[in-house]
Amino acid sequence: MKILFLTHYYPPEVNAPANRVHEHARAWVAAGHEVTVVTGVPNHPRGKLFPGYQNRWRQEEQIEGVRVVRTWMYVTANEGFLRRTANYVLFAITGLLAGLRAERPDLVIATSPQFFCGLAGAVLAKLRRLPFVLEVRDLWPDSIVQLGQVENPTVVRMLEAVESWLYRSADGIVVVSRAFRDHIEGRGIPADRIELVYNGIDPAKFHPMPPDPALLAAHGLEGRFTVAYVGTLGLAHGLVGVLDAAEALAGSGVAFVFIGDGADRGRLEEEVARRGLEDIHFLGLLPREEVPKWLASLDLLLVMLRDLPVFETVIPSKMFEYAALERPWLMAAPRKAECRRLVDEAGAARTIDADDPVALAEAIADVRADPARAAETATAGRKWVERDFVRTELAERMLGFLERTVGSPPGDDRPGAA
Protein backbone atom coordinates (compact mmCIF):
# COMPACT_ATOMS: atom_id res chain seq x y z
CA MET A 1 0.00 0.00 0.00
CA LYS A 2 1.18 3.52 -0.79
CA ILE A 3 0.47 5.99 2.01
CA LEU A 4 0.68 9.79 1.79
CA PHE A 5 0.87 11.36 5.26
CA LEU A 6 0.48 15.11 5.90
CA THR A 7 1.88 16.35 9.21
CA HIS A 8 2.90 19.75 10.48
CA TYR A 9 5.66 18.24 12.66
CA TYR A 10 8.29 15.62 11.86
CA PRO A 11 11.80 14.65 13.05
CA PRO A 12 14.30 16.06 13.72
CA GLU A 13 11.61 17.96 15.65
CA VAL A 14 11.10 16.09 18.91
CA ASN A 15 7.52 16.74 20.03
CA ALA A 16 4.91 14.02 20.47
CA PRO A 17 3.20 14.43 17.05
CA ALA A 18 6.53 14.20 15.21
CA ASN A 19 7.58 11.10 17.14
CA ARG A 20 4.25 9.31 16.67
CA VAL A 21 4.06 9.90 12.91
CA HIS A 22 7.64 8.83 12.32
CA GLU A 23 7.50 5.70 14.44
CA HIS A 24 4.28 4.59 12.74
CA ALA A 25 5.63 5.38 9.27
CA ARG A 26 8.86 3.53 10.00
CA ALA A 27 6.92 0.47 11.15
CA TRP A 28 4.77 0.51 8.01
CA VAL A 29 7.84 0.71 5.79
CA ALA A 30 9.33 -2.24 7.65
CA ALA A 31 6.09 -4.14 6.91
CA GLY A 32 6.60 -3.59 3.17
CA HIS A 33 4.52 -0.47 2.50
CA GLU A 34 5.57 2.80 0.84
CA VAL A 35 5.18 5.93 2.97
CA THR A 36 5.61 9.51 1.81
CA VAL A 37 5.41 12.19 4.48
CA VAL A 38 4.63 15.78 3.48
CA THR A 39 5.79 18.19 6.16
CA GLY A 40 7.52 21.54 6.62
CA VAL A 41 11.09 22.48 7.40
CA PRO A 42 11.98 21.60 11.00
CA ASN A 43 11.85 24.69 13.24
CA HIS A 44 9.51 23.93 16.18
CA PRO A 45 9.24 25.37 18.79
CA ARG A 46 11.70 28.28 18.59
CA GLY A 47 11.05 29.24 14.98
CA LYS A 48 14.68 28.58 14.05
CA LEU A 49 15.67 26.16 11.31
CA PHE A 50 17.42 23.02 12.47
CA PRO A 51 21.03 22.66 11.26
CA GLY A 52 21.37 21.42 7.70
CA TYR A 53 17.99 22.71 6.47
CA GLN A 54 16.98 25.64 4.29
CA ASN A 55 13.50 27.08 3.91
CA ARG A 56 13.04 26.15 0.27
CA TRP A 57 9.83 25.50 -1.64
CA ARG A 58 10.57 21.79 -1.88
CA GLN A 59 13.25 19.43 -0.68
CA GLU A 60 13.32 15.67 -0.17
CA GLU A 61 15.16 13.25 2.09
CA GLN A 62 14.94 9.66 3.32
CA ILE A 63 14.63 9.02 7.06
CA GLU A 64 14.76 5.32 8.00
CA GLY A 65 13.08 4.28 4.76
CA VAL A 66 10.40 7.00 4.86
CA ARG A 67 10.35 9.43 1.95
CA VAL A 68 10.03 12.92 3.44
CA VAL A 69 8.94 15.85 1.25
CA ARG A 70 9.50 19.19 2.98
CA THR A 71 7.78 22.38 1.88
CA TRP A 72 8.39 26.06 2.50
CA MET A 73 6.96 27.37 5.78
CA TYR A 74 6.31 30.70 7.39
CA VAL A 75 8.85 30.12 10.15
CA THR A 76 7.88 31.54 13.52
CA ALA A 77 8.22 30.65 17.18
CA ASN A 78 5.41 28.67 18.79
CA GLU A 79 3.95 31.77 20.43
CA GLY A 80 1.62 34.58 19.40
CA PHE A 81 -1.80 33.50 18.16
CA LEU A 82 -1.76 35.38 14.84
CA ARG A 83 1.76 34.30 13.87
CA ARG A 84 1.03 30.69 14.76
CA THR A 85 -2.22 30.76 12.79
CA ALA A 86 -0.37 32.15 9.76
CA ASN A 87 2.16 29.35 10.16
CA TYR A 88 -0.61 26.74 10.25
CA VAL A 89 -2.60 28.11 7.33
CA LEU A 90 0.37 28.63 5.04
CA PHE A 91 1.63 25.11 5.69
CA ALA A 92 -1.84 23.79 4.83
CA ILE A 93 -1.52 25.52 1.45
CA THR A 94 2.05 24.45 0.67
CA GLY A 95 1.39 20.94 2.01
CA LEU A 96 -1.65 20.64 -0.25
CA LEU A 97 0.39 21.73 -3.27
CA ALA A 98 3.16 19.24 -2.43
CA GLY A 99 0.58 16.49 -2.01
CA LEU A 100 -0.89 17.23 -5.44
CA ARG A 101 2.56 16.74 -6.98
CA ALA A 102 3.31 13.51 -5.15
CA GLU A 103 3.05 10.10 -6.80
CA ARG A 104 -0.51 8.82 -6.58
CA PRO A 105 -0.98 6.95 -3.27
CA ASP A 106 -3.68 4.55 -2.14
CA LEU A 107 -4.88 6.88 0.59
CA VAL A 108 -4.19 10.19 2.31
CA ILE A 109 -3.71 10.64 6.06
CA ALA A 110 -3.52 13.98 7.83
CA THR A 111 -2.89 14.51 11.52
CA SER A 112 -3.63 17.16 14.08
CA PRO A 113 -2.56 19.26 15.82
CA GLN A 114 -3.47 21.60 14.13
CA PHE A 115 -6.64 20.99 12.13
CA PHE A 116 -5.65 23.18 9.17
CA CYS A 117 -3.34 20.27 8.33
CA GLY A 118 -6.39 18.00 8.49
CA LEU A 119 -8.24 20.39 6.21
CA ALA A 120 -5.41 20.23 3.66
CA GLY A 121 -5.55 16.43 3.76
CA ALA A 122 -9.31 16.37 3.23
CA VAL A 123 -9.13 18.74 0.26
CA LEU A 124 -6.19 16.82 -1.23
CA ALA A 125 -8.05 13.52 -0.97
CA LYS A 126 -11.14 14.99 -2.63
CA LEU A 127 -9.14 16.52 -5.48
CA ARG A 128 -7.31 13.25 -6.14
CA ARG A 129 -10.39 11.08 -5.42
CA LEU A 130 -8.66 9.08 -2.72
CA PRO A 131 -9.75 7.65 0.64
CA PHE A 132 -8.99 10.02 3.51
CA VAL A 133 -8.13 9.18 7.12
CA LEU A 134 -8.02 11.94 9.72
CA GLU A 135 -5.90 11.39 12.82
CA VAL A 136 -7.13 13.45 15.78
CA ARG A 137 -4.49 14.12 18.44
CA ASP A 138 -5.98 17.36 19.75
CA LEU A 139 -9.55 18.64 19.94
CA TRP A 140 -9.71 21.84 17.94
CA PRO A 141 -11.22 24.32 18.47
CA ASP A 142 -12.02 23.24 22.06
CA SER A 143 -8.41 23.44 23.22
CA ILE A 144 -7.66 26.93 21.91
CA VAL A 145 -11.02 28.25 23.13
CA GLN A 146 -10.50 26.95 26.67
CA LEU A 147 -6.95 28.32 26.71
CA GLY A 148 -8.42 31.75 25.91
CA GLN A 149 -6.76 32.08 22.51
CA VAL A 150 -10.05 32.52 20.64
CA GLU A 151 -13.00 34.29 22.26
CA ASN A 152 -15.04 35.70 19.36
CA PRO A 153 -18.28 33.62 19.20
CA THR A 154 -18.54 33.97 15.43
CA VAL A 155 -14.98 32.70 14.91
CA VAL A 156 -15.62 29.82 17.31
CA ARG A 157 -18.76 28.79 15.39
CA MET A 158 -16.84 28.92 12.11
CA LEU A 159 -14.08 26.73 13.50
CA GLU A 160 -16.62 24.25 14.90
CA ALA A 161 -18.26 24.08 11.48
CA VAL A 162 -14.89 23.27 9.88
CA GLU A 163 -14.28 20.63 12.56
CA SER A 164 -17.61 18.94 11.85
CA TRP A 165 -16.99 19.07 8.09
CA LEU A 166 -13.62 17.39 8.57
CA TYR A 167 -15.17 14.54 10.56
CA ARG A 168 -17.89 14.03 7.94
CA SER A 169 -15.39 14.13 5.07
CA ALA A 170 -13.12 11.45 6.49
CA ASP A 171 -13.49 7.83 5.39
CA GLY A 172 -11.89 6.89 8.69
CA ILE A 173 -10.83 8.69 11.87
CA VAL A 174 -8.03 7.61 14.21
CA VAL A 175 -8.10 8.97 17.77
CA VAL A 176 -5.66 8.68 20.66
CA SER A 177 -8.13 8.55 23.56
CA ARG A 178 -11.58 7.21 24.40
CA ALA A 179 -12.73 10.74 25.18
CA PHE A 180 -11.84 11.86 21.66
CA ARG A 181 -13.83 8.94 20.27
CA ASP A 182 -16.86 9.87 22.39
CA HIS A 183 -16.57 13.51 21.30
CA ILE A 184 -16.54 12.60 17.61
CA GLU A 185 -19.38 10.10 17.96
CA GLY A 186 -21.30 12.93 19.59
CA ARG A 187 -20.88 14.86 16.36
CA GLY A 188 -22.84 12.16 14.53
CA ILE A 189 -19.96 10.05 13.17
CA PRO A 190 -20.64 6.26 13.21
CA ALA A 191 -18.52 4.29 15.66
CA ASP A 192 -17.27 1.91 12.95
CA ARG A 193 -15.50 4.79 11.21
CA ILE A 194 -13.44 5.59 14.32
CA GLU A 195 -10.40 3.65 15.52
CA LEU A 196 -8.70 4.15 18.89
CA VAL A 197 -4.90 3.88 18.66
CA TYR A 198 -3.16 5.04 21.82
CA ASN A 199 0.31 6.52 21.94
CA GLY A 200 3.06 4.23 23.11
CA ILE A 201 6.77 3.55 23.28
CA ASP A 202 9.55 2.04 21.21
CA PRO A 203 10.99 -0.53 23.64
CA ALA A 204 14.31 -0.45 21.81
CA LYS A 205 14.73 3.19 22.91
CA PHE A 206 12.72 3.39 26.12
CA HIS A 207 13.60 0.66 28.60
CA PRO A 208 15.17 0.49 32.07
CA MET A 209 18.79 1.67 32.04
CA PRO A 210 21.31 2.83 34.64
CA PRO A 211 21.58 6.54 35.44
CA ASP A 212 24.40 8.58 33.92
CA PRO A 213 26.08 10.56 36.73
CA ALA A 214 28.11 12.52 34.18
CA LEU A 215 24.96 14.17 32.85
CA LEU A 216 24.02 15.39 36.31
CA ALA A 217 27.55 16.50 37.13
CA ALA A 218 27.78 18.52 33.91
CA HIS A 219 24.88 20.65 35.13
CA GLY A 220 25.73 20.79 38.82
CA LEU A 221 22.93 18.41 39.80
CA GLU A 222 24.90 15.72 41.61
CA GLY A 223 23.84 15.11 45.19
CA ARG A 224 20.38 16.60 44.73
CA PHE A 225 16.94 15.04 44.45
CA THR A 226 16.06 15.97 40.87
CA VAL A 227 12.49 16.68 39.76
CA ALA A 228 11.99 17.20 36.03
CA TYR A 229 9.38 18.31 33.55
CA VAL A 230 10.21 17.14 30.02
CA GLY A 231 8.35 18.40 26.95
CA THR A 232 6.75 21.51 25.53
CA LEU A 233 6.81 24.46 27.91
CA GLY A 234 3.37 25.63 26.87
CA LEU A 235 0.10 27.08 28.09
CA ALA A 236 -1.51 23.67 28.56
CA HIS A 237 0.66 22.56 31.45
CA GLY A 238 0.37 25.06 34.29
CA LEU A 239 4.12 25.07 34.85
CA VAL A 240 4.05 28.11 37.15
CA GLY A 241 2.67 25.61 39.66
CA VAL A 242 6.01 23.77 39.46
CA LEU A 243 7.75 27.02 40.44
CA ASP A 244 5.31 27.39 43.35
CA ALA A 245 6.25 23.90 44.52
CA ALA A 246 9.95 24.71 44.09
CA GLU A 247 9.51 27.79 46.24
CA ALA A 248 7.80 25.71 48.95
CA LEU A 249 10.68 23.20 48.88
CA ALA A 250 13.48 25.77 48.72
CA GLY A 251 16.53 24.81 50.75
CA SER A 252 15.55 21.12 50.99
CA GLY A 253 18.05 19.83 48.45
CA VAL A 254 15.48 19.42 45.66
CA ALA A 255 16.51 20.65 42.20
CA PHE A 256 13.99 21.28 39.42
CA VAL A 257 14.87 20.66 35.78
CA PHE A 258 12.97 21.76 32.66
CA ILE A 259 13.91 19.93 29.47
CA GLY A 260 12.26 21.35 26.37
CA ASP A 261 11.14 24.65 24.99
CA GLY A 262 7.96 26.49 24.14
CA ALA A 263 5.81 29.58 24.39
CA ASP A 264 5.89 29.70 28.19
CA ARG A 265 9.66 29.41 28.68
CA GLY A 266 10.34 33.15 28.72
CA ARG A 267 7.64 33.79 31.30
CA LEU A 268 8.91 30.95 33.50
CA GLU A 269 12.48 32.23 33.40
CA GLU A 270 11.31 35.73 34.26
CA GLU A 271 9.31 34.35 37.18
CA VAL A 272 12.34 32.41 38.46
CA ALA A 273 14.40 35.61 38.39
CA ARG A 274 11.63 37.69 40.01
CA ARG A 275 11.26 35.26 42.90
CA GLY A 276 14.98 34.69 43.28
CA LEU A 277 14.55 30.93 43.03
CA GLU A 278 17.63 28.72 43.01
CA ASP A 279 18.20 25.21 41.75
CA ILE A 280 15.90 25.74 38.73
CA HIS A 281 17.59 24.53 35.55
CA PHE A 282 16.36 25.13 31.98
CA LEU A 283 18.21 22.78 29.64
CA GLY A 284 16.29 23.62 26.45
CA LEU A 285 15.63 21.19 23.64
CA LEU A 286 17.65 17.99 23.56
CA PRO A 287 18.13 15.58 20.65
CA ARG A 288 15.62 12.75 20.80
CA GLU A 289 18.34 10.15 21.29
CA GLU A 290 19.59 11.88 24.46
CA VAL A 291 16.22 11.98 26.21
CA PRO A 292 16.16 8.37 27.54
CA LYS A 293 19.54 8.83 29.24
CA TRP A 294 18.25 11.95 30.98
CA LEU A 295 15.01 10.32 32.06
CA ALA A 296 16.94 7.40 33.53
CA SER A 297 19.15 9.78 35.51
CA LEU A 298 16.47 11.90 37.19
CA ASP A 299 14.72 11.05 40.45
CA LEU A 300 11.13 12.11 39.73
CA LEU A 301 9.42 13.00 36.44
CA LEU A 302 6.33 15.17 36.08
CA VAL A 303 3.25 15.07 33.86
CA MET A 304 1.39 18.38 34.19
CA LEU A 305 -2.02 19.35 32.81
CA ARG A 306 -4.18 22.34 33.66
CA ASP A 307 -7.59 21.93 35.27
CA LEU A 308 -9.66 22.55 32.13
CA PRO A 309 -12.35 20.27 30.63
CA VAL A 310 -10.42 19.80 27.39
CA PHE A 311 -7.52 18.26 29.32
CA GLU A 312 -9.82 15.59 30.69
CA THR A 313 -9.64 14.12 27.17
CA VAL A 314 -5.90 14.05 26.47
CA ILE A 315 -3.31 11.34 27.19
CA PRO A 316 0.22 12.78 27.25
CA SER A 317 2.63 10.49 25.41
CA LYS A 318 5.46 11.28 27.82
CA MET A 319 3.80 9.22 30.55
CA PHE A 320 4.38 6.02 28.56
CA GLU A 321 8.05 6.87 28.12
CA TYR A 322 8.49 7.60 31.82
CA ALA A 323 6.87 4.30 32.73
CA ALA A 324 8.90 2.30 30.19
CA LEU A 325 12.12 3.49 31.82
CA GLU A 326 10.83 2.28 35.19
CA ARG A 327 11.31 5.70 36.76
CA PRO A 328 9.14 7.25 39.50
CA TRP A 329 6.79 9.83 38.05
CA LEU A 330 3.93 11.99 39.19
CA MET A 331 0.83 13.16 37.31
CA ALA A 332 -1.08 16.37 38.06
CA ALA A 333 -4.31 16.23 36.06
CA PRO A 334 -8.04 16.99 36.31
CA ARG A 335 -9.90 14.49 38.48
CA LYS A 336 -12.01 13.21 35.58
CA ALA A 337 -9.11 12.99 33.12
CA GLU A 338 -8.90 9.79 31.09
CA CYS A 339 -5.12 9.67 31.51
CA ARG A 340 -5.49 9.85 35.29
CA ARG A 341 -7.98 7.01 35.27
CA LEU A 342 -5.62 4.83 33.22
CA VAL A 343 -2.70 5.54 35.53
CA ASP A 344 -4.71 4.93 38.70
CA GLU A 345 -6.06 1.62 37.38
CA ALA A 346 -2.55 0.44 36.54
CA GLY A 347 -1.00 1.77 39.75
CA ALA A 348 1.71 3.20 37.49
CA ALA A 349 2.33 6.51 39.27
CA ARG A 350 1.07 8.84 41.94
CA THR A 351 -1.68 11.21 40.79
CA ILE A 352 -2.83 14.52 42.26
CA ASP A 353 -5.27 17.24 41.29
CA ALA A 354 -4.25 19.75 38.63
CA ASP A 355 -3.35 23.34 39.54
CA ASP A 356 -2.60 22.49 43.18
CA PRO A 357 1.01 23.49 43.93
CA VAL A 358 0.65 22.63 47.62
CA ALA A 359 -0.34 19.05 46.77
CA LEU A 360 2.50 18.94 44.23
CA ALA A 361 5.11 19.97 46.80
CA GLU A 362 3.73 17.45 49.32
CA ALA A 363 3.75 14.65 46.74
CA ILE A 364 7.34 15.40 45.75
CA ALA A 365 8.37 15.27 49.41
CA ASP A 366 6.48 12.00 49.90
CA VAL A 367 8.13 10.30 46.91
CA ARG A 368 11.53 11.43 48.12
CA ALA A 369 10.83 10.11 51.63
CA ASP A 370 9.65 6.66 50.47
CA PRO A 371 11.89 5.44 47.62
CA ALA A 372 10.82 1.81 48.09
CA ARG A 373 7.19 2.63 47.37
CA ALA A 374 8.23 4.79 44.42
CA ALA A 375 10.28 1.91 42.99
CA GLU A 376 7.35 -0.49 43.41
CA THR A 377 5.04 1.86 41.52
CA ALA A 378 7.64 2.37 38.80
CA THR A 379 7.88 -1.39 38.25
CA ALA A 380 4.11 -1.64 37.92
CA GLY A 381 4.22 1.16 35.34
CA ARG A 382 6.86 -0.59 33.26
CA LYS A 383 4.90 -3.83 33.16
CA TRP A 384 1.73 -1.93 32.20
CA VAL A 385 3.37 -0.14 29.27
CA GLU A 386 5.18 -3.24 27.99
CA ARG A 387 1.86 -5.11 28.01
CA ASP A 388 -0.43 -2.55 26.36
CA PHE A 389 1.49 0.31 24.75
CA VAL A 390 4.25 -0.99 22.46
CA ARG A 391 4.44 1.27 19.42
CA THR A 392 4.99 -1.46 16.80
CA GLU A 393 1.81 -3.23 17.89
CA LEU A 394 -0.12 0.05 17.89
CA ALA A 395 1.22 0.89 14.41
CA GLU A 396 0.05 -2.52 13.23
CA ARG A 397 -3.41 -1.83 14.63
CA MET A 398 -3.58 1.49 12.80
CA LEU A 399 -2.32 -0.12 9.59
CA GLY A 400 -5.11 -2.68 9.75
CA PHE A 401 -7.62 0.15 10.01
CA LEU A 402 -6.04 1.91 7.02
CA GLU A 403 -6.22 -1.27 4.95
CA ARG A 404 -9.89 -1.73 5.82
CA THR A 405 -10.56 1.89 4.89
CA VAL A 406 -8.87 1.51 1.51
CA GLY A 407 -10.61 -1.78 0.88
CA SER A 408 -14.11 -0.51 1.55
CA PRO A 409 -14.23 3.30 1.83
CA PRO A 410 -17.70 4.76 2.34
CA GLY A 411 -19.45 5.86 -0.84
CA ASP A 412 -21.61 8.85 -1.64
CA ASP A 413 -23.91 8.04 1.27
CA ARG A 414 -21.33 9.60 3.60
CA PRO A 415 -22.69 12.62 5.46
CA GLY A 416 -21.39 15.67 3.66
CA ALA A 417 -20.23 13.79 0.56
CA ALA A 418 -22.31 16.00 -1.67
Which CATH number goes with the domain that contains 347?
A: 3.40.50.2000
* High-pLDDT (> 70) share of the chain, %: 94
- Summarize pLDDT for 3-32 with one digit per residue, the tens: 999 999 999 998 888 999 999 999 999 999
Residue 205's SS3 state is coil
pLDDT reported for residue 412: 38
Select the highest-mean-pLDDT range: 46-60, 222-236, 369-383.
369-383
Counting the structural domains of the chain, the total is 2
Number of H helices, E strands in the chain: 15, 14
Q: Is the pLDDT of residue 408 over 60?
A: no
On whether both 196 and 227 belong to a single domain, the answer is no
On whether both 378 and 395 belong to a single domain, the answer is no
pLDDT band, residue 414 (cuts 50/70/90)? very low
Global pTM value: 0.86
CB atoms within 10 A of CB 85: 15
Among 41-55, 245-259, 371-385, the range scoring the smallest mean pLDDT is 41-55
pLDDT reported for residue 415: 38
> Edge-to-edge strand order for the sheet containing 280-284?
280-284, 254-259, 225-230, 300-304, 329-333, 350-353
Residue type at 342?
Answer: L
Q: Is the pLDDT of residue 182 over 70?
A: yes
The mean per-residue pLDDT over the stretch 70-97 comes to 89
Residue 208 lies in a domain: no
Residue 55 lies in a domain: yes
Residue 410: partners with Cβ closer than 8 Å, 6 or more residues away: 171, 193, 417
* Residue spans of alpha helices (H) in 213-264: 213-218, 240-248
Q: H or E element: which one contains 174? A: strand 172-175
Q: Is the pLDDT of residue 372 over 60?
A: yes
Domain that holds residue 290: 213-388
Q: Do 102 and 36 meet the contact criterion of CB atoms below 8 Å apart?
A: yes
Rounded to whole angstroms, the Cα distance separating 19 from 200 reads: 10
Q: Is the pLDDT of residue 411 over 60?
A: no
pLDDT reported for residue 78: 73
On whether both 299 and 402 belong to a single domain, the answer is no
On whether both 377 and 394 belong to a single domain, the answer is no
